[in-house]
């Protein structure tokens, strides 16, 4: 989707309201409903998407007028951002910028502005990054891959991610960068910064001919976007290396199939072929890993996941969830270091890659 097309879509929102006014009709906006009652599980894409329910913001309802006006104001603001090309704005910045819009349009709390942004996303069926509203940069990419993108000055830059100390930070420009060249045959996405650094220092990118991605916990949209593009455009299989607990497993699942909260844009962010590598519950037993006791929150989360459509028919995931419940224990990635710095690269990951039939291990 070109920037010009995005601008036209944003203009169309305003034009629909103008048409109502010219026809002496009450101006209104029809917006896809983002509530849980409108979530549908798409079996083909293994993710939640929005159903057909909509809501109407009408100028004829006094409770809707302010939100209708704010929606139009934010859409116009985003249109100018996209046309300007260089600038991006965080959600937090947008909240404060609204102070300049006067008492009738400004947001009193950030959740109000966040809600409008998500309504615009749903209306356009595209993430806020496409309209230059971004989350705080999070995540990094390291390995033999060359990217071409424009810096904030609009200048074209070409960077090989090996020529960085800790990897190229993943932000809005990186997520949409052109992939110039790579000889990698896989992607390893890593939950924690500590393990990401360990793999860099042990030259995992060379040993496994891989691109390493630091998720930094729950992956940002920009990180999920670049993972999807690496998989779709370069046909690189993706392996998800996370902590051995239900929240780590779900970090992997969000990359595979998106989240309920982002149902309106999951198809743009999710990477269904990505594979959960571990650390699994079975690994705790096999490798006699140091563990921590499960919290009540962990137990509750396991039971939720057991009934989640994304997990329900997956025998492997159900087996691991059952083992966690039986153990009542969880472990971090770093627990593998009991066997030394090189263990993860020399033994653990090769065994996992053979199990998953990764390139170079078939």
Question: Is 123:50 a contact under the CB 8 Å cutoff?
Answer: no
24: domain range?
3-134
Q: Is the pLDDT of residue 1 over 60?
A: no
Domain final residue, candidates 134, 152, 174: 134
Asked, for residue 64, whether it belongs to a domain, the answer is yes
3 state DSSP class of 146:
strand
Tens-place pLDDT, residues 303-339? 988 888 888 888 899 999 999 999 999 999 989 988 8
State whether 202 and 121 are in the same domain.
no
Cα 162 to chain center, whole Å? 24
Asked, for residue 113, whether it belongs to a domain, the answer is yes
Is the bond preceding 294 in cis, omega lying within 30 degrees of 0? no
Cα 33 to chain center, whole Å? 21
Rounded Cα–Cα distance for residues 181 and 59 (Å): 52
Tens-place pLDDT, residues 210-263? 999 999 888 888 899 999 999 999 999 999 999 999 999 999 989 998 877 777
Tens-place pLDDT, residues 124-153? 888 888 888 887 777 999 999 999 988 777
Asked, for residue 163, whether it belongs to a domain, the answer is no
CB atoms within 10 A of CB 16: 13
State whether 235 and 114 are in the same domain.
no
Six token digits for residue 155 = 């200048």
Asked, for residue 154, whether it belongs to a domain, the answer is no
Domain final residue, candidates 104, 134, 164: 134
State whether 231 and 339 are in the same domain.
yes
Domain final residue, candidates 134, 166, 193: 134
Q: Is the pLDDT of residue 74 over 80?
A: yes
Asked, for residue 160, whether it belongs to a domain, the answer is no
Q: Which residues contact 355 (CB under 8 A, 6 or more apart)?
A: none
State whether 227 and 303 are in the same domain.
yes
State whether 220 and 350 are in the same domain.
yes
CATH number of domain containing 55:
1.10.10.10
State whether 207 and 268 are in the same domain.
yes
State whether 100 and 207 are in the same domain.
no
State whether 98 and 237 are in the same domain.
no
pLDDT above 70 as % of the chain: 99
CB atoms within 10 A of CB 65: 15
Q: Is the pLDDT of residue 345 over 80?
A: yes
Rounded Cα–Cα distance for residues 324 and 320 (Å): 6
CATH number of domain containing 339:
3.40.1360.10
The one catalytic residue among 48, 95, 96, 196: 96
State whether 130 and 188 are in the same domain.
no
Asked, for residue 177, whether it belongs to a domain, the answer is no
State whether 130 and 187 are in the same domain.
no
Asked, for residue 171, whether it belongs to a domain, the answer is no
Q: Is the pLDDT of residue 117 over 80?
A: yes
Rounded Cα–Cα distance for residues 162 and 140 (Å): 12
Give the mean model confidence (pLDDT) for residues 72-91. Answer: 84
State whether 187 and 334 are in the same domain.
yes
State whether 14 and 120 are in the same domain.
yes
Asked, for residue 44, whether it belongs to a domain, the answer is yes
For the chain, how many structural domains are there in total?
Answer: 2
Judge whether 196 counts as a catalytic residue: no
pLDDT value of residue 64 = 86
């Amino acid at each position: 989707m070109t920037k010009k097309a995005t601008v036209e879509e944003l203009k169309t929102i305003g034009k629909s309201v103008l048409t109502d006014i010219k026809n002496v009709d009450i101006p209104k906006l029809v917006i896809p409903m983002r509530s849980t009652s409108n979530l549908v599980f798409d079996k083909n894409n293994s993710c939640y998407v929005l159903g057909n329910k909509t809501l109407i913001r009408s100028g004829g309802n006094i409770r809707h007028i302010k939100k209708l006006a704010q929606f139009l104001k934010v859409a116009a603001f985003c249109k100018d951002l996209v046309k300007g090309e260089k600038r991006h704005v965080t959600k937090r910045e947008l909240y404060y910028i609204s102070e300049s819009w006067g008492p009738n349009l400004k947001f009193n709390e950030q959740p109000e502005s966040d809600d409008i942004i998500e309504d615009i996303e749903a209306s356009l069926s595209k993430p806020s990054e496409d309209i230059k509203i971004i989350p705080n940069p999070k995540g990094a990419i390291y390995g033999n891959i060359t990217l071409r993108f424009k810096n904030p000055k609009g200048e074209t830059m070409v960077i090989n991610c090996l020529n960085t100390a800790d990897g190229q930070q993943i932000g809005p420009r990186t997520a949409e960068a052109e992939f110039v060249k790579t000889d990698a045959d896989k992607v390893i996405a890593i939950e924690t910064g500590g393990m990401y650094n360990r793999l860099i220092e042990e030259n995992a990118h060379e040993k496994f001919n891989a691109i390493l991605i630091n998720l930094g916990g729950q992956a940002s949209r920009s990180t999920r976007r670049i993972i999807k593009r690496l998989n779709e455009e370069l046909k690189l299989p993706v392996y998800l290396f996370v902590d051995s607990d239900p929240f780590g497993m779900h970090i992997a699942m969000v990359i595979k199939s998106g989240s309920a909260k982002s149902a309106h844009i999951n198809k743009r962010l999710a990477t269904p072929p990505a594979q959960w590598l571990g650390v699994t519950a079975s690994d705790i037993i096999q490798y006699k890993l140091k563990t921590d006791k499960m919290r009540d929150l962990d137990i509750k989360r396991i039971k939720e996941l057991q009934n989640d459509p994304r997990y329900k028919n997956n025998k492997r995931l159900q087996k691991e969830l059952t083992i966690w419940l039986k153990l009542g224990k969880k472990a971090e990635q770093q627990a593998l270091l009991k066997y030394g710095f090189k263990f993860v690269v020399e033994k653990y990951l090769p065994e996992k890659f053979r199990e998953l039939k990764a390139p170079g291990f078939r």
